[in-house]
Amino acid sequence: KVKPQVEEKEGKTFDVFTAVEFKTQVVAGTNYFIKVHVGNDEFMHLRVFRSLPHENKPLSLHSYQSSKTKHDELAFF
């Protein structure tokens, strides 16, 4: 659901966009830290926020880190 947001920020489209790992952090909602394979040996780390259910808001891309590898540790950022 956040792929279009990442593509807009990066100014390009991704033929491959597959989540391979994730971690969560409970705040006033939930932060998802997601490692995404974007083709070849390239990966990105995304921080996606899901608000509390009663707020009825869509998932939002909070931030991301590009130029990651498969072996880079997925850490909170």
Tens of pLDDT along 18-53? Answer: 999 999 999 889 999 999 999 999 999 999 999 998
Whether the CB-CB separation of 13 and 25 falls below 8 Å is answered with: no
**Residue 55 falls inside a structural domain:** yes
**Residue 77 falls inside a structural domain:** no
- Alpha-carbon 73 to chain mean position: 14
pLDDT at 14 over 90: yes
Q: For position 37, which CATH number holds? A: 3.10.450.10
Mean pLDDT (the chain, rounded): 92
**Residue 75 falls inside a structural domain:** no
Q: Which pLDDT band, with edges at 50, 70 and 90, does 17 fall under?
A: very high
In the chain, the number of structural domains is 1
CA dist 43 → 15, 35, 53, 67 (Å): 13, 7, 30, 6
